[in-house]
Amino acid sequence: MSGGLYTQLLDLACGAFLLAAVIVLWRRELAAIVRVFALQGVALAAIAMLLGLHEERWDLIAVGLGVGVLRAGVLPYLMRRALAALAADRGSEEVRETQPLVNVAASLLTAALLTLLAYAVAQPLTALDPTPATRALPVGLAVVLIGFFVLVTRRRALAQVVGFLLLDNGITATAFLATSGVPLIVELGVSFDVLLAVLVLQILTTRMREAFGTTDIDDLRELHD
């Protein structure tokens, strides 16, 4: 793969990766949010595989394939199952993020500011080693910040799960771009931890719905009060 083609494809994958995080802030339908998260998993897998092809590292290509299977296949499948259960039990009011703590316009503006902050923070690092991967490092940092923002501003439990997974995707992308990939055993361990966390969160969400009839965090807080 030529250097020019590698740079263009890596920039395209990183752009899609960041755009998916921004679209999560824009959309309110949980089904659409899960689909966008799956597309972000494809972009993350593409980043890892492009790095592997450029450096001729077959272990990194294998990691990219594994990331794609888990984050674009298994995790969205589990979340779609949870959504189907919500729709069957409660109807459409449970499958939308109806009242986030921050509205859509303010969320998108915040995402732009967080992206600028990520580029400002990463500028000293990119100046030290201006390779295509290092220049894309702010994208991973921006997705980390956006994922944390989703986590703390969404009221539906499943939307908060997506925020947690965006945060993890951003950390993974940052590791790939900063170190040109992580060892296979490390990525497998992290991926299994994430899968376990999502399974636990899905079980908790199901129990919350069965016990209280809702997964809205504010409604549960009112029950406590």
pLDDT digits (tens, 9 = 90+) for 112-171: 999 999 999 999 888 887 888 888 999 999 999 999 999 888 877 788 888 888 988 998
Q: Count CB neighbours of 72 within 10 A.
A: 20
Beta bridge partners of 29: 96
**Helix (H, G, I), strand (E, B), or coil: what is residue 29?**
strand
Measure the CA–CA gap between 121 and 125, rounded to whole angstroms. 8
- Given a contact cutoff of 8 angstroms between Cβ atoms, the answer to whether 107 and 153 are in contact is yes
Closest by CA position to 40, among listed 76, 8, 66:
76
**Percent of the chain surpassing pLDDT 70:** 73
Q: Is the pLDDT assigned to residue 26 strictly greater than 60?
A: yes
Classify residue 161 as exposed, middle or buried by CB count within 10 Å of its CB (0-12, 13-18, 19+): buried
24-46 residues labelled b (16+ CB within 10 A) or e (exposed): bbebbebeebbbbbbbbbbbbbb
Q: What is the pLDDT of residue 223?
A: 46
Average pLDDT value for residue range 181-197: 55
Helix (H) or strand (E) holding 136: none
- Taking the model in full, what pTM does it have? 0.82
Which residues make beta-bridge pairs with 216?
156
Which of 83, 71, 156, 170 shows the shortest CA–CA distance to 122?
170
